[in-house]
A = this chain, B = another copy of it.
Amino acid sequence: MTAENSHNRSATNEGISFAEAFDLINPHLYTVEERIRAQAKAFDPAVEGYISYICGAGGKRLRPALALLAAGATGKITPAHVDLAVILELIHIATLVHDDIIDGAELRRDQPSANAKWGNSISVLLGDVLFAHALKLSTNFSNSDISRRIADAAAEVCSGEIIQTQRRFDLKLTTTDYYRIIEMKTAALFSAACELGAFISEASPTIISGLKAYGTKLGVAYQIYDDILDIAGSEEETGKTLGTDLQKGKFTLPILLLLQSGKDLGSIRDLLLKDDPAAISELASMVDRSGVLENSKRIARTKISEAVEHLGAIQENRYAGGLHAIPNHLSHLLDQL
């Protein structure tokens, strides 16, 4: 695509692609990436190597992208926005280190996870030290409302994971419980990224709360997508081990809808509590035959539409176009499943 085309396509909010949205913020994302990798140097030399490994593993950097797009959609992208992006990603990385311990995950982005590499003890502490470091960086904002909101989002992520862990293998889990859990564990950081991106730009309260709601709905939709993937995706395509939610007793939307459908309840419950590979593949094919995947996708698409509606008050510019491109891309990914 030529630069002119790109410009034309960026002229309306809905006119830019996912890749173009990332291109738009690429120089800032590059800085974020460098800053994330440079954090290791802030640690004691004995700890530096671990942090360097963990922070260097890469990732989709969705939270930084949202913070930067929200920034550009509401003003100029400033160094404070880059700080925000770095801090939110560090918190996300810290939670992943602890998630991998809890899930006993061996791989993270095709590399051995911290727990696989150095054991659970060191990994608990590495998550802690990264977390403390991220919250220390957040005290540099001139307005303490920002660091308070970040710490709040971090606490929400942990609370959501506590509830999720507490309710593993709980056959009484409802879809309402599920939405609440994913709103906390996933959407809280998405929401903080969008809200604070606009807050730092000194956007109006309407715009800030609109972006916060956008982030929440988008985060929920994204987690539903990820949960569908775990039960119906292909390992070759995703490059990660699937079926782990069921194995760990995390009942996600497709399973909850399957239970709601009321058919074969007894055998579904038996299979859910069995958590062996045969039971998991039997459940996956029941999900496949039952139509609950389509229902799950429909619900995710509804959340996406709701996310996009919250962008209504935002003035059109290329970054606002990027904020549209992300849910559009997620819709596209759902279509491909």
Contacts and interface: CB of A to CB of B under 8 A. Distances in A.
Interface in A35-94: 43-44, 46-47, 50
A268 interface: no
Contact of A124 (B44, B124, B166): B124
Q: How many copies of this chain?
A: 2
Main secondary structure of the interface of A (DSSP, over half): helix
A89 to B, nearest CB: 16
Contacts of A139: 139, 144, 147-148, 151
Contacts of A159: 43-44, 46-47, 129
A162 B125 contact: yes
A128 B126 contact: no
B122 A98 contact: no
21 contacts: A43-B155, A43-B159, A44-B162, A47-B159, A95-B128, A98-B128, A101-B120, A101-B121, A101-B124, A102-B124, A121-B165, A124-B124, A125-B158, A128-B131, A128-B158, A129-B155, A129-B158, A136-B148, A136-B152, A140-B148, A144-B147
Given A47-B162, A122-B162, 16 more contacts: A43-B159, A46-B162, A47-B159, A101-B124, A102-B121, A121-B165, A122-B165, A125-B161, A126-B162, A129-B155, A132-B154, A133-B155, A135-B135, A140-B144, A144-B147, A147-B147
